[in-house]
C-alpha cells in the first residue's frame, strides 16, 4: 500500500491505485485507460482507444479490491479509492484461461501468416499462452469473403474482437461488417457478399489484432522486420495525413498511418494507403528524353538535357508560361518562382483546375481547424462531395453529428454521406450562386453589387434558422464550388454569410499543397493565370509534374496551346499526352521518393522523408531546378542542399480578392464535372487496385431518370455527349440523386477528357 498523502478528490477526477501506484483518472474513464496513461501494460484484443467499448474478448481481466471475481479493465469505470492489481495469481490465471480459449479454434499458421511479426495475438500469446495445446478436436473453418481489391480475408483466424465491425459502424459510418449466427457458428462478414465500399476501408487492417484482415496489395511481399519506416504525409488531398512509408531495398511496399490527433488521428484514407502502387508504373520517366525532328524520342544525358532546357527557356524568355501541379512541394514551388523571375516572366500558376479568376482566388487556411471541425454545431457544405475530396474531414463531420451538430448541404448532387443531413438544397450547377445569394439575403448579409440574383429554395428556411442560432458554425466550400464557372460569386456569398453569422469560412484547397504554393509565390502577379496562359499560346512553357490530358480544367485548350509552343516538362511519368506536347522531358522523383515540405488546409507545414529511390536517372525536383537555374546563371540557386534552400525561403500571407465574373447563362442539360476519388492525380491514375475498386465508377454520364427519359435514354445505353470542345460516347447511368437539368460526367478518364468542364451538353442516343 502506498504511503503517499491522500489527495482531495477534484470534481472531475477520482483517486485510484493500480499495482500500488497512486494516480488520478477522469471520472467515467475505464481502468484500462488509466493504466495506459500510467504506462502499466494490460493485455487486450477488443479494446481500441478510438472505438466504442465492446468488452467481448475478456483478455484484460484484472483484480479489483472488493470485487468477487476478475473484472474487464476496458469496461469497468474508475471509482474513488479503487485499488486495482494486474499481476495477482487470480488475474493472471484468468488471462491465461482466456488466451487458451482464444487459441482453441485459431489455426496457428504463424509461419505462413502475412501478419506474422506484427500480430497482437502472437505477441500476447508469448506471455499468456501455454507451450502445448490441450485441445485435440478438429478446429473450426470459416469460408472467406471477397471484400474487394484492397482487403484480403482469412476469417478462420478471426477471434471475434469486433474491432472491424465497430470501425465500419462508428468511425467510417458505413455499417458494412457485422456478426452473423451465434455461439460457435459466429462469423464476421458483410452478409451480402459485396466488397467494402468505404473510402476508409483499409483501416480495418490496422485495427485487426490477428491475420484475419490483411493488406491485399502488400501481402506476402515482405516480413515486417525487413521494412524500414520513413515518416511522410499523404499528398492526395489538402489534409496531409501523417503516415509511414514502409520501404525495403529502396522500394515502397506499403503505407500505414502515423498518429497525429490534430490531422488524421490514427486513421488513413484508402487513397493515401494504396497510392504507392502508382510509383512503379511502366511509363515512369527514367531518363531525360528529347523529341527528335521525326517525332521520336531519344534518351540523353543530364548535362545535355540541362543545356537544351536552358536554350529553350532563354529563347522564350518573358513569353514563357509556367504551369505547376498543386501537389508540388514548397521547395520546388519557391525554386520555380525564382526560375520564372530569372526568365523575366510573370506567367506562373498552380491553379490548373480553376476557371473563374475574377476575384484572384488563392487557397486560404481553414477558419476552423480540421480537428475543431468536429466541435462545430452547424456545418454548411457548399459544392462539395467532401467524403471523396477529403475523406478524413468527412469523418470529422460524422463525429460532430454524434455530438448533436447539424450538417446542411447545397449541392448539385445529393452525395451519399455517412452522417445525417439536417437539410439540403439540390440544384443544377448554374443555380448554386443564386441559391447561396438567397441564403445570404435571408441572413441579412451584406452582398457585393453584381452578385448572382437570388434563387429561393424551400430548404433555405431550415439552413437560415440553424446558422442564425449557431454558436460554432462552419461553412465548407469544396471542389464543385471552387472550380465553378462563377466561383467568385460563391466565394463572395459564402464570405458574406460567414461574416453575418460568425461562422468560419473553410475553403478546401484544390491540391495537396495549393496553400503552400500560393504562399511561396507560384502565382501570376501581374501576369496571366493558368486559364489565360492557355487561351493564347505562349512561345514556351514549363510544365511541372502535369499530365496535360487530365490535370487542366480545359484539356482541349491546354493541348492546343501546348502543341503550338516549345515545352520543357519536369515529370514523374512520360505519359502519352505529355509526349504529345513536350519537346523535352526531365525525369523527377515522386513525392514519396524525395524530401519536401507541404502546407495543409490548416496552414500547418509538414515534412516528408525520402522513402523509395527515384527510378533510373530521375532526380529530386528541387535538385533539377537548382542545376538548371545555376546553368542559366539565375540568382537564387546557389544552395547545395535542401536545408540551405529552406533557409532562403520566406512564405508570404495571401488572400483572395473581391471581383465578380460575368454570370454564365446555361440552357438545357449542363455538365457537372468532378474528379474521381481514385483518379485525381497521375500517381493515383496508375494505382491498379484503386482503379479496380467499385468507387472508381469508370467513364460514363449520370442523369436524373426524368432527364434520361426525356432524352430517350435508358440505364446502360450508350449516349453521345458533345459540347463546343469535343464529344464522347459514354454509357448512361441513372441517378435520382442528381439535380434535374444536370449531367454528371467525371473528369480524369480518356473518353471524358475532351469535354469542357462547364457549360451546356448535347446528349443523344449513340447511332441516332
| Residues spanned by the domain of 712 | 670-765
Look at residues 114, 296, 273 and name the one whose alpha carbon lies nearest to residue 202.
Answer: 273
Q: Are strands 320-324 and 297-299 parallel, antiparallel or unpaired?
A: unpaired
CA–CA distance, 762 with 718 (Å, rounded to integer): 14
Q: Strands 289-291 and 378-382, how do they pair?
A: unpaired
> What is the per-residue pLDDT for 6?
44
pLDDT digits (tens, 9 = 90+) for 711-730: 999 999 999 999 988 999 99
Give the start-end residues of each E strand in 309-353.
Answer: 320-324, 348-349
Q: Which residues contact 182 (CB under 8 A, 6 or more apart)?
A: none
> Taking 70 as the threshold, does the pLDDT of residue 1 lie above it?
no
Residues 164 and 65 in one domain: no
Three-state DSSP class for residue 611: coil
CB atoms within 10 A of CB 653: 9
**Cell numbers standing for residue 391:** 475523406
pLDDT band at 750 (very low <50, low <70, confident <90, very high): very high
- pLDDT tens column, 677-714: 999 999 999 999 999 999 999 999 999 999 999 999 99
Question: Which of 279, 314, 342 is at the close of a domain?
Answer: 279
**397 near 387, Cβ under 8 Å?**
no
Residues whose CB is less than 8 angstroms from the CB of residue 443 and which lie 6 or more positions away in sequence, other chains included: 464, 467, 468, 497, 500, 501
- What CATH code is carried by the domain that includes residue 705? 2.40.40.20
Task: Give the pLDDT confidence of 257-275 residue by residue, as tens digits.
Answer: 999 999 999 999 999 999 9
Checking if the pLDDT of 768 tops 80, the result is no
In this structure, the number of other CB atoms found within 10 A of the CB of residue 699 comes to 18
Q: Are residues 503 and 518 in the same domain?
A: no
Is the pLDDT at 210 greater than 80? The verdict is: yes
480 shares a domain with 406: yes
CA distances, 480 to each of 364, 483, 639, 675 (Å) = 17, 5, 40, 10
- Domain for residue 313, yes or no? yes
Residue 732's pLDDT is what?
96
Q: Are 556 and 725 in contact (CB under 8 A)?
A: yes
pLDDT given at position 346 = 96
CATH code of 490's domain: 3.40.228.10
pLDDT above 90 as % of the chain? 91
Answer yes or no: do 143 and 274 share one domain: yes
pTM of structure: 0.94
> CATH number for the domain including 571?
3.40.50.740
In angstroms, the CA 351 to CA 359 distance is 13
**pLDDT at position 11, please?**
66
pLDDT band at 450 (very low <50, low <70, confident <90, very high): confident
User: In this predicted model, what pLDDT tens digit does every residue of 321-347 receive, in sequence order?
Assistant: 999 999 999 999 999 999 999 999 999
Contacts (Cβ under 8 Å, ≥6 apart) of 111: none
Q: What are the pLDDT digits (tens) for 527-550?
A: 999 999 999 899 999 999 999 999
Burial string for 405-418 (b: 16+ CB within 10 Å, else e) reads bbbbbbbbbbbebb
CA–CA dist 585, 569 (Å, integer) = 5
Examine the domain organization and report whether 34 and 144 are in the same domain.
no
367/507 Cα distance (integer angstroms): 9
Residue 766: the pLDDT is 82
Radius of gyration (C-alpha) of the chain in whole angstroms: 28
User: How many other C-beta atoms lie within 10 A of the C-beta of residue 36?
Assistant: 16
Domain-terminating residue out of 218, 250, 279: 279
Output the nine-digit C-alpha cell for 257.
498511418
pLDDT in tens, 161-200: 999 999 999 999 999 999 999 888 899 999 888 999 999 9
Strands (E), 234-361: 242-248, 251-257, 289-291, 297-299, 320-324, 348-349
**Same-domain status, 502 and 518:** no
pLDDT digits (tens, 9 = 90+) for 287-301: 999 999 999 999 999
* Per-residue cell: 347: 506567367
Strands (E), 331-472: 348-349, 378-382, 406-411, 423-426
Three-class secondary structure of residue 120 per DSSP: helix
> Could you tell me whether strands 289-291 and 297-299 are parallel, antiparallel, or unpaired per DSSP bridges?
antiparallel
Confidence of residue 469 (pLDDT cuts 50, 70, 90): very high
**745 touches 673 (CB < 8 A):** yes
As a whole number of angstroms, the distance between CA 604 and CA 720 comes to 45
pLDDT (tens digit per residue) in 79-116: 999 999 999 999 999 999 999 999 999 998 899 999 99
Residues ≥6 apart with Cβ < 8 Å to 546: 323, 324, 325, 352, 552, 569, 571, 578
Residue 272, in any domain of the structure: yes
Query: Are 272 and 143 within one domain?
Result: yes
Query: What pLDDT, on the 0 to 100 scale, is given for residue 133?
Result: 84
CATH at residue 99: 3.10.20.740
Report d(CA 288, CA 155) in Å as an integer. 49
> Is the domain of 141 the same as that of 251?
yes
Residue 616 resides in a domain: yes
Q: Are residues 447 and 493 in the same domain?
A: yes
Based on the fold, state whether residues 451 and 536 are members of the same structural domain: no
- For residue 7, pLDDT beyond 80: no
DSSP-assigned states of every residue in 623-636: HHHHHHHHHTT-TT
Residue spans of alpha helices (H) in 409-550: 432-442, 460-469, 479-482, 487-501, 514-519, 530-535
Q: Are 43 and 128 in contact (CB under 8 A)?
A: yes
Q: What is the number of structural domains in the chain?
A: 5
CATH code, domain with 198: 3.30.70.20
The verdict on residue 663 lying in a domain is no
What's residue 136's pLDDT?
Answer: 86
Same-domain status, 261 and 320 = no
- Average per-residue pLDDT in the chain? 94
What pLDDT digit, counting tens, does each position of 347-397 carry?
Answer: 999 999 999 999 999 999 999 999 999 999 999 999 999 999 999 999 999
Answer with the one of 482, 507, 532 that is the final residue of a domain: 507
Q: For residue 11, give every residue at least 6 positions away whose Cβ sits within 8 Å of its Cβ, in sequence order, or none.
A: none
Residues 355 and 349: their CA atoms lie apart, in Å, by 12
**Cα(617)–Cα(672) distance, rounded to whole angstroms?**
41
Query: Are both 330 and 437 inside the same structural domain?
Result: no
End-to-end CA distance of the chain: 89
Amino acid at each position: 500500500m502506498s504511503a503517499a498523502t491522500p489527495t482531495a478528490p477534484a470534481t472531475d477526477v477520482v483517486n485510484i491505485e493500480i499495482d500500488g501506484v497512486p494516480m488520478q483518472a477522469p471520472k467515467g474513464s475505464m481502468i484500462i485507460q488509466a493504466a495506459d496513461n500510467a504506462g502499466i501494460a494490460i493485455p487486450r484484443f477488443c479494446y481500441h482507444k478510438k472505438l466504442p467499448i465492446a468488452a467481448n474478448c475478456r483478455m484484460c481481466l484484472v483484480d479489483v479490491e472488493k470485487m468477487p471475481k476478475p473484472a474487464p479493465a476496458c469496461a469497468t469505470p474508475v471509482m474513488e479509492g479503487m485499488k486495482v492489481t494486474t499481476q495477482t495469481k487470480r488475474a493472471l490465471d484468468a488471462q491465461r484461461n482466456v488466451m487458451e480459449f482464444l487459441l482453441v479454434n485459431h489455426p496457428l499458421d504463424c509461419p505462413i501468416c502475412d501478419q506474422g511479426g506484427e500480430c497482437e495475438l502472437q505477441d500476447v500469446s508469448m506471455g499468456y499462452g501455454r507451450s502445448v495445446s490441450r485441445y485435440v478436436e478438429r478446429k473450426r473453418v470459416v469460408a472467406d469473403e471477397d471484400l474487394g481489391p484492397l482487403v484480403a480475408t482469412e476469417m478462420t483466424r478471426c477471434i471475434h474482437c469486433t474491432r472491424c465491425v465497430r470501425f465500419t459502424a462508428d468511425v467510417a459510418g458505413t455499417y458494412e461488417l457485422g456478426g452473423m449466427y451465434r455461439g460457435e457458428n459466429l462469423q464476421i462478414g458483410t452478409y451480402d457478399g459485396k466488397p467494402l465500399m468505404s473510402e476508409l476501408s483499409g483501416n480495418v487492417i490496422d485495427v485487426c489484432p490477428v491475420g484475419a484482415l490483411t493488406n491485399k496489395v502488400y501481402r506476402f511481399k515482405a516480413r515486417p522486420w525487413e521494412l524500414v519506416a520513413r515518416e511522410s504525409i499523404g499528398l492526395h488531398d489538402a489534409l496531409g495525413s501523417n503516415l509511414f512509408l514502409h520501404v525495403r531495398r529502396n522500394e515502397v511496399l506499403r503505407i500505414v498511418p502515423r498518429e497525429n490527433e490534430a490531422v488524421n488521428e490514427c486513421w488513413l484514407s484508402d487513397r493515401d494507403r494504396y497510392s504507392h502502387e502508382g510509383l512503379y508504373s511502366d511509363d515512369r520517366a527514367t531518363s531525360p528524353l528529347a523529341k527528335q525532328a521525326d517525332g521520336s524520342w531519344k534518351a540523353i544525358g543530364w548535362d545535355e538535357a540541362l543545356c537544351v532546357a536552358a536554350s529553350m527557356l532563354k529563347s522564350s524568355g518573358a513569353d514563357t508560361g509556367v504551369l505547376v501541379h498543386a501537389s508540388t512541394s514548397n521547395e520546388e514551388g519557391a525554386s520555380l518562382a525564382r526560375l520564372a523571375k530569372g526568365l523575366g516572366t510573370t506567367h506562373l500558376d498552380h491553379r490548373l483546375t480553376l476557371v473563374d479568376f475574377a476575384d484572384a482566388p488563392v487557397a486560404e487556411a481553414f477558419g476552423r481547424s480540421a480537428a475543431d471541425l468536429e466541435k462545430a454545431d452547424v456545418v454548411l457544405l457548399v459544392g462539395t462531395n467532401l467524403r471523396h475530396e477529403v475523406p478524413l474531414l468527412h469523418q470529422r463531420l460524422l463525429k460532430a453529428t454524434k455530438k448533436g451538430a447539424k450538417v446542411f448541404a447545397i449541392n448539385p448532387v445529393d452525395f451519399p454521406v455517412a452522417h445525417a443531413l439536417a437539410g439540403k438544397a439540390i440544384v443544377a450547377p448554374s443555380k448554386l450562386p443564386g441559391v447561396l445569394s438567397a441564403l445570404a439575403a435571408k441572413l441579412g448579409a451584406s452582398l457585393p453589387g453584381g452578385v448572382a440574383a437570388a434563387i429561393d429554395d424551400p430548404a433555405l428556411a431550415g439552413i437560415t434558422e440553424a446558422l442564425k442560432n449557431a454558436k460554432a458554425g462552419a461553412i465548407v466550400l469544396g471542389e464543385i464550388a471552387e472550380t465553378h464557372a462563377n466561383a467568385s460569386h460563391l466565394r463572395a456569398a459564402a464570405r458574406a454569410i460567414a461574416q453575418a453569422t460568425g461562422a468560419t469560412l473553410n475553403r478546401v484547397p484544390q491540391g495537396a499543397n495549393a496553400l503552400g504554393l500560393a504562399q511561396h509565390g507560384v502565382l501570376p502577379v501581374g501576369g496571366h493565370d493558368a486559364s489565360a496562359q492557355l487561351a493564347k499560346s505562349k512561345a514556351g512553357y514549363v510544365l511541372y509534374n502535369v499530365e496535360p490530358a487530365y490535370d487542366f480544367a480545359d484539356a482541349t485548350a491546354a493541348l492546343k496551346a501546348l502543341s503550338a509552343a516549345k515545352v520543357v516538362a519536369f515529370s514523374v511519368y512520360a505519359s502519352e499526352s505529355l509526349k504529345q506536347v513536350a519537346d523535352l522531358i526531365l525525369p523527377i522523383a515522386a513525392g514519396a521518393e524525395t524530401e519536401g515540405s507541404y502546407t495543409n488546409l490548416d496552414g500547418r507545414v509538414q515534412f516528408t522523408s525520402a522513402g523509395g529511390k527515384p527510378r533510373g536517372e530521375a532526380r529530386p525536383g528541387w535538385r533539377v531546378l537548382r542545376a538548371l537555374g545555376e546553368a542559366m546563371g539565375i540568382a537564387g540557386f546557389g544552395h547545395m542542399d535542401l536545408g540551405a534552400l529552406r533557409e532562403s525561403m520566406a512564405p508570404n500571407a495571401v488572400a483572395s480578392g473581391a471581383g465578380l465574373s460575368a454570370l454564365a447563362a446555361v440552357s438545357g442539360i449542363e455538365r457537372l464535372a468532378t474528379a474521381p476519388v481514385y483518379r485525381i492525380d497521375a500517381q493515383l491514375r496508375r494505382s491498379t487496385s484503386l482503379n479496380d475498386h467499385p468507387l472508381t465508377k469508370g467513364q460514363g454520364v449520370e442523369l436524373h431518370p426524368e432527364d434520361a427519359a426525356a432524352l430517350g435514354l435508358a440505364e446502360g445505353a450508350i449516349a453521345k455527349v458533345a459540347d463546343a470542345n469535343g464529344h464522347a460516347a459514354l454509357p448512361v447511368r441513372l441517378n435520382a440523386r442528381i439535380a434535374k437539368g444536370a449531367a454528371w460526367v467525371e473528369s480524369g478518364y480518356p473518353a471524358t477528357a475532351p469535354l469542357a468542364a462547364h457549360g451546356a451538353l448535347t446528349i443523344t442516343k449513340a447511332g441516332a
